[in-house]
Amino acid sequence: MVLNPVLGKLVSKRVVLASASPRRQEILTNVGLRFEVVPSWFKETLEKSSFTAPYEYAVETAKQKALEVANRMHVKHLRTPDVVIGADTIVSVDEQILEKPVDKQDAYRMLSRLNGKEHSVFTGVAIIHCHSKDNQLEMDITDFYEETKVKFSELSEELLWEYIHSGEPMDKAGGYGIQALGGMLVEYVHGDFLNVVGFPLNHFCKKLAELYYPPSKHNVQRKKYDSIPSVDTFENQSDGESESSNFTKQKGASKLDSSGTYSSEAVYASENSSGVRTGFTVPLENQNGVSQSAAKLPSKILELMDGFRASKALFVASKLKIFDHLKDKGPMKAVDIANDVGTSVCGTERLLDACASLGLLEKTPQGYSNTDSANTYLASDGKYSLHGYIIHSNDHLWPLFTNLESAVKEGSRQNHRAFGKKADDLFKDYYHSQEVKQRFMSAMHSIAHLTARDVATAFDLSQFKSACDLGGCTGALAHELVQVYPNLKVTVFDLPEVIANTSYFQPSGQHTAPVTFVSGDFFKDSLPEADLYILSRVLHDWPDEKIHVLLSKVSAVCRPGCAVLLAEMVLDDEKKNRSTALLQSLNMLVQTEGKERSGSEYQALLEQHGFTNVKIRITGNLLDVILCVKT
Ligand SMILES: Cc1cn([C@@H]2O[C@H](COP(=O)(O)OP(=O)(O)OP(=O)(O)O)[C@@H](O)[C@H]2O)c(=O)[nH]c1=O
């Protein structure tokens, strides 16, 4: 759900955050923005002395970070994004620019300079709107910066070193994190707190408002209500534009003033952590001029109560191949669809209406047709079809999830209850019949294909010549890797039952020479040689004991300097954010002995087998990526 109408303008766009900073990802995720994370490879090495003011350096670096990502994504035909956001945070004290410390001594130097003094934190932000015309990339760049003043208390040497040894300073500008332990060092903050943390959210929303809602003479005077937050640009922006309307080119547009752009008043509400709307109510006049006030609805809870109905409507429409029908023949009337798929007219009509209300279909006087998303993701031949995973969710996960209560009580998987037989071997079970095997492979393929680009580009892997994707199934990730890194040769290693059935999933019309398939059991057989071993959605299937067996085998064949790349949903250390990942962990409970793990848990497992320099990229999408090196 997007709370902010300005951010709502980005809903239908492909937004890319060109930053590896987990804080920036969190700040934007927290306000409901959906985006992909493609960390920039731009090295922060601009000549500082060539800038007259520190903020100019931050703005230029932010711009270069975003430009690098926009160009890379365009050149590599990774689909040109609509909007790329780059940011750079620096600390400025005594005319000097402080970035991230390179080591503990450097952190000490920085913190000593800040000790007892006021300094400025500048974050430069670049918003690039991209268009591809005749395969040329055209860009509109908007940039700005925000300054926040922060004062440190007088701190003892001992305290500074204790803080440095906590490890917190290392990936943070100026060597401190105001949002965590570093908050204890700070006497006061003047300005936007989130700007210090890494992203000036308020200024960003104002900039978007300038771009998407330039002031016009039709705007009426906005009434002031005491209860309205003083953030002018967060107002109701019901301008009747469709979500897909383009932003108005307003480079350098002047700031909205309080006589702004607003045509009506709105109801503002925020939800507290229990999902109950607690916000303030602004009188809203309906068309008859009667004042209404917003009912306090536990909207999040109601949404969750209905969640299973929506899921099942999607599953059934997919099972009945309604999206395939409409892709070929839409728009169609309910009666014709019902006749084609052999269902009742009254039931089909209700299902179609429900799907239309959920945004999966469009309903017009001509009948029902697929939305663009349905063509891409729901039709079984869609470019990034999730059909396989949806059928797997309906036929396999649904019966397991109906036994979630028993799984929680017993702490173990529920295959015996759901399918009437004990699960001895997770994968043997999947492969007991050709139909189940194909369904499972198709499910794994659809997720691997959808996430492959994120996984392949989370880190620069161009130094590796050969990779082995352990449990690589249909080779979807392998094919993406050889596209992104033309010099890489990838071996997919999986069970013989899998390898025998991969041909159906191979991309057509491409020479697939750099991808080879080798069959074997990674717990028992010897592993192919490679510079890079990949384990994507593998470790979460297993308990720690089995992971140790697997990682010790990988470690034994890995030469020093070789690397391991994990792709998993990585939980935060406190296991309290990211419901998708936490629900996925329940998903593992009902069907495996595995679970989802946090970054530190993966790091600990890897380090026990000689893998160090563990780097974690939270992509903000389905799979996060961890890279480590054998020393
Ligand atoms: C002062 C302060 C900074 N930071 C972090 O410092 C990094 C700055 O570095 P950057 O170069 O702007 O970003 P990055 O992390 O290298 O990512 P990228 O955008 O990929 O260059 C960002 O992470 C910020 O959150 C905090 O988390 N808390 C604070 O109080």
101-156 residue pLDDT tens: 999 999 999 999 999 999 999 999 999 999 887 778 889 999 999 999 999 999 99
Handedness of CA 252, 255, 260, 262 (dihedral sign): positive
- Phi, psi torsion values for 487, nearest 5 degrees: -90, 5
Question: Whole-prediction pTM value?
Answer: 0.56
Ligand 1 atom nearest 174 alpha carbon: 1
What is the dihedral angle through the alpha carbons of 536, 540, 545, 548, rounded to the nearest 10 degrees? 20
Residue 173 CA, ligand 1 centroid: distance in Å: 6
Residue 384 CA, ligand 1 centroid: distance in Å: 33
Q: Which residue out of 16, 23, 72, 459 has the highest number of ligand 1 atoms within 8 Å of its CB and is therefore the one to mutate?
A: 23
Residue 43 pLDDT exceeds 70: yes
**Residue 370, C-beta contacts closer than 8 angstroms, at least 6 positions apart:** 323, 326, 327, 330, 361, 362, 378, 379
Q: Which residue out of 25, 89, 90, 457 has the highest number of ligand 1 atoms within 8 Å of its CB and is therefore the one to mutate?
A: 89
- Name residue, tokens 């987990």: 22
Handedness of CA 604, 607, 608, 611 (dihedral sign): positive
What are the start-end ranges of the E strands in 241-298?
284-285, 291-292
Ligand 1 neighbour 505 (Cβ under 6 A)? no
Residue 218 pLDDT exceeds 70: no
Residue 196 CA, ligand 1 centroid: distance in Å: 9
**Residue 242, C-beta contacts closer than 8 angstroms, at least 6 positions apart:** none
Ligand 1 neighbour 172 (Cβ under 6 A)? yes
Ligand 1 atom nearest 182 alpha carbon: 30
Q: Looking at residue 613, what DSSP letter applies?
A: E
Pick from 160, 157, 173, 170: nearest CA to 87? 173
pLDDT class of 229 with cuts at 50, 70, 90: very low
Write down how long the chain is.
Answer: 631
Which residue in 88, 143, 192, 469 is the catalytic one? Answer: 88
Rounded Cα–Cα distance for residues 241 and 342 (Å)? 39
Residue type at 59? V
Rounded Cα–Cα distance for residues 423 and 347 (Å)? 36
Ligand 1 neighbour 119 (Cβ under 6 A)? no
Handedness of CA 49, 55, 58, 64 (dihedral sign): negative
pLDDT class of 240 with cuts at 50, 70, 90: very low
Ligand 1 neighbour 200 (Cβ under 6 A)? no
Condensed to tens digits (0 to 9), the pLDDT of residues 352-396 reads 999 999 999 999 999 999 998 899 999 999 989 999 999 999 999
Q: Taking residues 507-516, what's their average pLDDT?
A: 74
Domains of the chain: 5-207 (3.90.950.10), 303-385 (1.10.10.10), 447-630 (3.40.50.150)
Residue 230 pLDDT exceeds 60: no
Q: Considering only CA atoms, which residue is closest to atom 11 of ligand 1?
A: 88
Q: Considering only CA atoms, which residue is closest to atom 5 of ligand 1?
A: 172
Q: Which residue out of 65, 171, 188, 457 has the highest number of ligand 1 atoms within 8 Å of its CB and is therefore the one to mutate?
A: 171
Tokens of 62: 């932010």
Ligand 1 neighbour 23 (Cβ under 6 A)? yes
**Of residues 188 and 9, which shows the higher confidence score?**
188
Strand pairing category for 532-536 and 466-470: parallel
Could you tell me if 441 and 433 are in contact, meaning their C-beta atoms sit under 8 angstroms apart?
no
Handedness of CA 373, 378, 382, 385 (dihedral sign): positive
On the 0-12 / 13-18 / 19+ scale of CB atoms within 10 A, 102 is exposed
pLDDT class of 431 with cuts at 50, 70, 90: low
Tokens of 233: 């640009």
Pick from 500, 502, 493: nearest CA to 468? 493
Residue 20 pLDDT exceeds 60: yes
Residue type at 409? K
| Active site (annotated) includes residue 88 | yes
Pick from 368, 326, 321: nearest CA to 343? 321
